[in-house]
Amino acid sequence: MAADSDGPVRSAETDKLWNEMSVDPVELHLGKDSGFTLRAYRMSDTLPGAKAAAAPAEDKAEVEETDEDVKPGGKHAADDDAAPEDEDALEPDAADFADDEDDAAEEDEDALDATPEEVPVFLTRKGKLLVFREPGALVEYVKGNDDHDLAAIEEYAELQERLSADDIVCDEDDTYELDLVVANLRGGQEAWEPELLIKAAEVGRDLGYALKNDSVVNSLAPGSPLDDLDETFRIVVDGGLRGKLAKRRLKKNDSQQAAIAWRGVIAKINDHVEWRG
C-alpha cells in the first residue's frame, strides 16, 4: 500500500505488523516542520485515566464566554453556571428542585463516563504530542521508552520488539497536511479541497481528545461552526443531489472566518507538539 503516488511502498510484512498491532504511523505537516508519530484506537475502558479526558463543564463555559470570534461546540454549556448570585433568593422548594436537578445531571454524566467508547491514543507524554522528524528516531524512542500514553495498549511490548524504521510508511489516509488548511480556506469556496479539510477535522478531534485540550475539542465539537463546515464537506464528497445542495450551502460560509478559526485550532495543536529527531 503506497503512502502516496510518489512515496515509499509498504511491504507485506509492514502491513501485517500494523494490522496485527492495530496501530498506525501518522505523518503530520505543521507549518515549516513535519514528522511522524503513532496512533491507535482503543476502547476507553481498556485505558487508564480515560475519564479524565472529558472536558470539565467550567472550562467549557469559560471558553465560550471569552471567545467572541468562533463559538465552540456545546453552545449551552455555560447555562449551568448562570445561577443567581444569591442562592437564598430562591424559594425553598425551587432551591430543593435545583439541587435535585444538579444531582440528576451528575448521575447522568457519571453514566455517560462509564459507557466505553472507542478513543484515539497517540505517543503523548505529559500533555505533549511526540513527533519525530526521522523514522529512525521514532523507532529508537519506541524501543527504549514506555513512559507515554501509547504504552498503555496491550500490544505495546510486542510492537517494541518488532518495529523497524522500514515500517514507518504512512498510508495516505494517515497523512495530514495541516500546514495547507488555512491557505486553502483563504483561497475562497471555489478553491476549497474537501478531502484536505475533512482529514484536518478528523485528526484535530483526535488530537484534542488525546491531548485533553478542551479548546480544540470544543472548536470541533458537534454544533460548532467548524463541525458544521466539516459535515457540509462530507456531504459534498458523497455527491448526488445532497452534494449539489451542500455546494450551494458552502457559498454562504465566510472563508476568512473559517480560516481564522482553523488557524487558532492549528496553533493550539502546534503549542502541544514536542518535535524530536
> Would you place residue 82 in the very low, low, confident or very high pLDDT band (cuts 50, 70, 90)?
very low
Q: Are residues 250 and 179 in the same domain?
A: yes
Q: What is the pLDDT of residues 50-74, one digit of tens each?
A: 444 443 333 433 334 444 444 333 3
Boundaries of domain holding 73? 61-114
Give the C-alpha separation, 238 to 224, whole Å: 21
Asked whether residue 92 is domain-assigned, the answer is yes
Asked whether residue 157 is domain-assigned, the answer is yes
Q: What is the pLDDT of residues 103-128, one digit of tens each?
A: 555 555 554 556 899 999 999 999 99
Give the C-alpha separation, 150 to 176, whole Å: 20
Q: What is the pLDDT of residues 28-49, one digit of tens each?
A: 999 889 999 999 999 999 888 6
Give the C-alpha separation, 233 to 230, whole Å: 5
Q: Residue 102: what pLDDT?
A: 52
Q: Are residues 82 and 206 in the same domain?
A: no
Task: Please name the amino acid found at residue 13.
Answer: E
Task: Please name the amino acid found at residue 252.
Answer: K
Q: Quick one: which H or E segment has residue 204?
A: helix 194-210
Instruction: Enter the pTM of the model.
Output: 0.73
Q: Residue 106: what pLDDT?
A: 56
Q: Are residues 42 and 168 in the same domain?
A: yes
Asked whether residue 54 is domain-assigned, the answer is no
> Would you place residue 277 in the very low, low, confident or very high pLDDT band (cuts 50, 70, 90)?
confident
Domain count, the chain: 2
